Chain A
Amino acid sequence: MSGHSNWPEWIYVAVVIALMAWVGAEAWEAERLVEHVPADAKTIIVTGQQWFWTFEHEDGTKEIGELHVEVGKAYKFEIVSTDVNHSFNIHDYVVLIDAIPGRVNTVWFAPDKVGEHDIQCREYCGLIHYNMRGTLYVTEPLS
């Protein structure tokens, strides 16, 4: 290979490795940020079953098909399923995690505005999957 220089290829390799490392680190950091639950987050147990969602607050109160939370507070969802795979999704807050039988998945969020948002199942779970919906009500703090 006399007269042939391959340094551009090595630079190309180095740039690709550097980009992959940067992309990986950015994704890792974002995942770490969104997975670390604030210490004062309130736990809500979310149960998915064909074809509705049940929410159980820390004080034991339960809601079916709708969820009331207070603006400015953090909530940790512990998501379970009693039958098949579902996926808990609050689209407006980018909350999306599977509900798997025999497993507890967690995700947290802190609503920042009063309002109503759709809750839906994002994993095909049977005949009435399309209607496995709920509503999130974000209200002013009661106390």
Chain B
Amino acid sequence: MKFIFGFLLIIGVLVIVPAVDFAFAAGDEPGKYLDRRAVIWNLFYKMMTVAFTVGSVVSGTIIWQVWRFRESHPKAKPTSYEGTDW
């Protein structure tokens, strides 16, 4: 468990704290001229990149699990309640 909490702490320091800091950094001064189209569409493309990456990983993991843990897989191990008479 120590390793896990240490790992989460490192992730927190490396990723979450800078991300939150980044969001708060600019304060409340008046805004600058900007192209809202660029800001909004950039955000959209970043979000889509994350969404498709996560979607690929999750669906890939599910497909692999279904393939790997099917009953007919050469390395399948029956559980105790399934018996051993294969």
Contacts and interface: CB of A to CB of B under 8 A. Distances in A.
Interface string B47-75: 10010001000000000000000000000
21 contacts: A7-B3, A7-B4, A14-B8, A17-B8, A18-B15, A19-B54, A26-B19, A26-B46, A29-B22, A29-B23, A30-B40, A30-B42, A32-B26, A36-B30, A37-B31, A38-B30, A74-B33, A94-B40, A95-B36, A108-B31, A109-B36
- Interface size on A, as a range, is 20 to 34
B23 A18 contact: no
Interface in A3-31: 7, 10-11, 14, 17-19, 21-30
Contacts, number: 83
B34 interface: yes
Interface of A: 7, 10-11, 14, 17-19, 21-30, 32-39, 74, 93-95, 108-110, 112
